[in-house]
Amino acid sequence: MSEESFDAERLEELLRPVVDRHGGDPLQLVQILRETQDVVGYLPTAVLTAIATALRLPRAQVEGVAGFYSFFHLTPPGRYRVLFSDNITDRMLGSGELLDRLCNKLWIERGKVSEDGLLSVDRTSCTGMCDQGPALLVNGQPLTHLSGERIDRISELIRAQVPLADWPAEYFRVDDNIRRRDSLLATEWPAGEALRAALARGAEAMLAEMKLSNLRGRGGAGFTTAVKWESARRAPCHGEEGLRYVVCNADEGEPGTFKDRVLLSSYADLVFDGMSVAGFSIGASKGLLYLRGEYAYLLPALREKLERRRRSGLLGRALCGQVAFDFEIDIHLGAGAYVCGEETALLESLEGRRGIPRIRPPFPVTAGYRGQPTVVNNVETLCKAALIAIRGGAWFAGLGTKQSTGSKLLSISGDVERPGIYEYPFGVSVEQVLQDCGAGNAQAVQVSGPSGVCLATHEFSRRIAFEDVPTAGAFMVFGTHRDMFEVARNFAHFFKHESCGFCTPCRVGTSLVANCMDKIAKGLGTQYEINQIFKIHRLLHAASHCGLGQAACNPLFDTLQKFRPAYERRLCSLDFEPAFDLDQALAAARQMTGRNDPGAHFGLAARLPGVAS
């Protein structure tokens, strides 16, 4: 669509229903941008102006929000927008070659839109399909199990401009791959079971059960859920509205994690029950599920689930016949920003702004969504809360270890025979997990994603638990044939791409370390770069605004400690070597003058007979 086609009248016609659907609320800006883009195809300047006018926001603010998220396009992205998942596990399955293959087939350069506006091909951060990769998103829809043959077929479908709806359905198949079930996955509870159990207990008693259970947050940080709930319950509401909120963090962006996808696909009622139980316990009447943009394909099914709950009295006014309890759930879609998994950045995004982590204190339990007391819990945490409502806190506390009660869902991918979801009671050893998933020759496991920890073989006896190796769920296995330097380099680029840019150390530091890693990869690295990485690691750890920056160098630090030879065999000398290569820089001049004699070369290359560059 060209810019010219947007006359004021047509714009009004396109925008009005979207803006009206959100009551003209500027806090819904991210949702409004998303839905507008769905209608228009992208977000041209005139559209941003019109949205700003309709919401009475400064235009620059609207542009600033649109410019923050990866999935918002300020220029036409092509009618087919292909995004290859760029997690290390996808790369290990050959996604790099497949991307090149598609680009070659369609005569297109990565990152550019084809001249006819038909398509663009690029990479995106992990799409959460690591157990069935390599994966990609085409116009937001996930494609799994890519192969050379599939890529060829996809290139034909795109060239023939076949609508996505007519592509083979099996391309879009997403499997649960549940390989081990424990206390959570073993039983399927009917919708509303947990909510009714909580209502029968009463809010105070429910909180007491939560305390007894000692449930800790499953998103990684491991904060005690009952403390969060109690603080939010006790915190005063502000203003006339006086509402509390429950937010379900389904922005599952940590590379290698996909457990929340499975819970939302096959246990959605348990998630909604968990949100309702939390709402009942803290006195909230509104729940918000923040779904990562990569999982937008789950939206229709989730909406339908909510509708069914509404019809059966599990949602809306006077739930389950309890006159005093109303609870509504809305789903918000993210738009491609890993940092929004941080709870205060998530709240900013929910309020229609750039996903920048807030200054704390105040914490969300006292001033969260719209400044009101807000509980933000991970998808898995809320499922566990629902279980506690049904089966009681004492039962839950009897599972797992003393400080890590209950079970944990692991998302296992990489060099294993049976990738997928494994549920274990906390305290299971890494060794045991590796045995169960068929990891024969593991040299390393990245637990809890790039921001977690990299374990080497001598650490495989350690246990998955908050008191030993805490995790948000990712469990990526690397066989002995893998290059741990390339693993770390992939993670360094991930953090560079996902840094929100708010604070100096993370914004610049993530770029600097990614550059260091690229320089080492090119064979130009020295001990100097290694020292730089350590120095920047210390700075980011100390001075970054949020956990993303603080953790950004962890994978480099870990692999430098444990897999030093993977780095050192690439170093060209132990002294400093500049990244700038004068002989390489002369290549363009050589090409223009048609020369390749020693006199057209510089340095070592000039002395070697018959060099070509």
Partner 1 sequence: MKQASILLDGLPVPFDAGQTIMDAALAAGIFIPHLCHHPAFKPQGSCKLCTVKANGRYVSACTLPARDGMEVENNTPDLNDKRRTLLQMLFVEGNHFCPSCEQSGNCMLQALAYELEMLSPHFDQFYPNRPVDASHPEVLLDFNRCILCELCVRASRDVDGKSVFSLSGRGINKHLIVNAESGRLADTDFDWADKAAQVCPVGVILKKRRGFAVPIGKRRYDIEPIARQVESLAARRADDMGHGD
Tell me which residues touch partner 1 (CB under 8 A).
45-46, 48-49, 58-61, 63-64, 66-70, 337, 354, 359, 361, 496-505, 507-512, 515, 535-536, 538-539, 542-545, 579
User: Do residues 407 and 424 make contact, with C-beta atoms less than 8 angstroms apart?
Assistant: yes
User: Do residues 406 and 222 make contact, with C-beta atoms less than 8 angstroms apart?
Assistant: no
Beginning with the edge strand found earlier in the chain, give each strand of the sheet holding 407-414 in spatial order: 178-180, 420-425, 407-414, 474-479, 442-447, 453-456
Q: How far is the CB of 501 from partner 1 (least distance, A)?
A: 4
Between 357 and 420, name the residue whose CB sits nearer to partner 1. 357
Between 378 and 544, name the residue whose CB sits nearer to partner 1. 544
Based on C-alpha coordinates, what's the Rg of the chain? Answer: 25
Q: How far is the CB of 62 from partner 1 (least distance, A)?
A: 9
Q: How far is the CB of 269 from partner 1 (least distance, A)?
A: 35
Q: How far is the CB of 29 from partner 1 (least distance, A)?
A: 13
Q: Tell me how far apart the 2 most distant CA atoms of the chain are, in Å.
A: 90
Between 49 and 401, name the residue whose CB sits nearer to partner 1. 49
Q: How far is the CB of 365 from partner 1 (least distance, A)?
A: 18
Q: Among positive and negative, which fits the CA dihedral 101, 104, 110, 114? A: negative
Phi and psi of 505, rounded to 5°?
A: -60, -45
Residue 86 exposed, middle or buried by CB count within 10 Å (0-12, 13-18, 19+): buried
Between 66 and 296, name the residue whose CB sits nearer to partner 1. 66
User: Do residues 255 and 449 make contact, with C-beta atoms less than 8 angstroms apart?
Assistant: yes
What distances in angstroms separate CA 349 from CA 14, 61, 74, 338, one per listed residue?
24, 13, 18, 11
Q: Which of 8, 76, 15 has the alpha carbon at shortest distance from 41?
A: 76
Q: How far is the CB of 489 from partner 1 (least distance, A)?
A: 17
Beginning with the edge strand found earlier in the chain, give each strand of the sheet holding 136-138 in spatial order: 119-124, 80-85, 136-138, 141-143
Q: How far is the CB of 251 from partner 1 (least distance, A)?
A: 15
Between 69 and 84, name the residue whose CB sits nearer to partner 1. 69
The alpha carbon of 529 is separated from its chain's Cα centroid by a whole number of angstroms, namely: 29
| 506-511-512 Cα angle (round to 5) | 100
Q: How far is the CB of 597 from partner 1 (least distance, A)?
A: 31
Q: How far is the CB of 107 from partner 1 (least distance, A)?
A: 28
Between 32 and 387, name the residue whose CB sits nearer to partner 1. 32
Between 69 and 426, name the residue whose CB sits nearer to partner 1. 69
Between 409 and 512, name the residue whose CB sits nearer to partner 1. 512
Q: How far is the CB of 496 from partner 1 (least distance, A)?
A: 7
Helix (H) or strand (E) holding 418: none
Q: How far is the CB of 569 from partner 1 (least distance, A)?
A: 24
Q: Which residues of 243-252 are buried (b: 16+ CB within 10 A; e: fewer)?
A: bbbbbbbbbb
Q: Concatenated DSSP letters for 312-381?
A: TTSSBSSGGG-TT--BEEEEEE--S-GGGGSHHHHHHHHTTS---PPPSSSPTTTS-GGGS-EEEEEHHH
Between 331 and 543, name the residue whose CB sits nearer to partner 1. 543
- The residues, any chain, with a CB within 8 Å of residue 50's CB and separated by 6 or more, are 8, 11, 12, 15
> From the CB of residue 114, how many other CB atoms can be counted at a distance below 10 Å?
17
Between 130 and 540, name the residue whose CB sits nearer to partner 1. 540
Between 160 and 580, name the residue whose CB sits nearer to partner 1. 580
Helix (H) or strand (E) holding 256: none
Between 314 and 337, name the residue whose CB sits nearer to partner 1. 337
Between 391 and 497, name the residue whose CB sits nearer to partner 1. 497
Q: What's the rounded Cα separation, in Å, for the pair 79 and 446?
A: 37
**Quick one: angle between helices 259-266 and 268-282, nearest 10?**
90
Query: Cis before residue 134, ω within 30 degrees of 0?
Result: yes
| Beta bridge partners of residue 327, listed in sequence order | 316
Q: What's the rounded Cα separation, in Å, for the pair 313 and 422?
A: 33
Q: How far is the CB of 497 from partner 1 (least distance, A)?
A: 7
Q: How far is the CB of 46 from partner 1 (least distance, A)?
A: 7
Q: How far is the CB of 451 from partner 1 (least distance, A)?
A: 16
Between 264 and 503, name the residue whose CB sits nearer to partner 1. 503
